[in-house]
């Protein structure tokens, strides 16, 4: 099962709106209580996705139990509540911090030089935490943000977010529509100091052969080569980034700036290698926050 074959498990637009009204009236705890049982139902009614989670958890932590898989599902569901809060400015900037202050300083130095920045992100944790920085009156709230997304995935939830946050200033580019015009437009924005986010851990639903294969957590996995080539072509500082939920409910921002000098081919290979190393280290630390509910690895993993 490929990631783009996984059916959305959203509760439906009307039910999501009901949850939103409950949240506005009573806060997060009642919504979290309801989401627990919604997640339990989704978990029990999706055996194929459940098995994918079990296989993945077995690789990461050595335990492919049903309980571990349910925790994986539940973590993801609670992350969606966080996302709802982040879109509607209910998640305060005080709940987000940089895991390393030195990395933060390097990033802010690039921001203050009005350099465009390309963030290579992933489906580890919740990168939406970064949008809080660009909307909450912080020192970098002047920066305009552009995100590449697969618009046909999680469509119900995305439409719900658009309805509760209609004035969201972040510009979204459909991954499936990237062409030469898009590249020119993005390059122009980067030259003006804007930033882009693009995921480097999911192969394209429209060009499944445009991949490179690499060792990841002791197994072979495919990654989208286009995301890495595009980042290099833009000729701006590149950062790897992930935002992980900590035990206190706050989010830690993990960063690493990519720095390497070599031929074009050598630089691409090093970019791929360093990204996977960055991602692998964090997945080992946060095994329940890597939200891939499908057969991520090339070979069959037995439970």
Per-residue pLDDT reduced to its tens digit, 49-94? 898 899 898 898 888 899 999 999 999 999 999 999 998 888 988 9
Is the pLDDT at 12 greater than 80? The verdict is no
Q: Can you give the pLDDT at residue 240? A: 98
261 vs 282, higher pLDDT? 282
Reported pTM: 0.90
Nearest to 194 by CA among 254, 255, 134, 240: 134
Q: What is the mean pLDDT of residues 213-230?
A: 92
Q: Can you give the pLDDT at residue 267? A: 95
pLDDT tens digits, 121-168:
999 999 999 888 877 666 677 788 898 877 666 677 777 777 877 777
Q: Can you give the pLDDT at residue 3? A: 47
Q: Give 8's pLDDT tier (boundaries 50, 70, 90).
A: low
**How far, CA to CA in Å, does 213 sit from each of 3, 175, 226, 242, 293?**
16, 21, 13, 21, 19
Is the pLDDT at 206 greater than 80? The verdict is no
**How far, CA to CA in Å, does 171 sit from each of 11, 121, 144, 196?**
26, 16, 8, 9
238 vs 154, higher pLDDT? 238
């Amino acid at each position: 099962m490929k990631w783009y074959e996984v059916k959305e498990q959203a509760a439906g637009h009307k039910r999501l709106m009901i949850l939103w009204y409950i949240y506005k009236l009573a806060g997060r705890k009642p919504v979290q209580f309801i989401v627990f049982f919604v997640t339990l139902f989704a978990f029990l009614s999706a055996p194929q996705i459940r098995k994918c989670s079990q296989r993945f958890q077995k690789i990461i932590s050595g335990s492919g139990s049903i309980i571990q898989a349910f925790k994986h599902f539940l973590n993801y569901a609670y992350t969606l509540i966080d996302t709802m809060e982040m879109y509607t400015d209910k998640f305060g900037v005080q709940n987000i911090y940089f895991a390393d202050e030195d990395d933060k300083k390097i990033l802010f130095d690039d921001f203050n030089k009005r350099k465009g920045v390309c963030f290579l992100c992933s489906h580890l944790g919740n990168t939406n935490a970064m949008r809080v920085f660009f909307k909450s009156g912080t020192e970098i709230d002047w920066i305009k943000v552009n995100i590449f997304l697969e618009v046909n995935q999680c469509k119900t939830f995305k439409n719900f977010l658009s309805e509760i946050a209609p004035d969201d200033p972040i510009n979204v580019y459909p991954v499936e529509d990237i062409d030469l015009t898009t590249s020119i437009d993005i390059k122009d924005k980067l030259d003006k100091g804007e930033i882009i986010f693009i995921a480097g851990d999911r192969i394209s639903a429209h060009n499944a052969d445009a991949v490179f294969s690499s060792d990841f957590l002791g197994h072979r996995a495919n990654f989208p080569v286009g995301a890495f080539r595009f980042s290099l072509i833009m000729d701006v500082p590149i950062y790897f980034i992930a935002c992980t939920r900590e035990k206190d409910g706050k989010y830690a921002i993990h960063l690493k700036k990519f720095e390497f000098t070599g031929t074009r081919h050598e630089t691409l290979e090093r970019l791929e290698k360093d990204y996977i190393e960055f991602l692998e280290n964090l997945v080992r630390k946060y095994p329940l926050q890597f939200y891939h509910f499908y057969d991520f690895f090339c070979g069959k993993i037995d439970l």
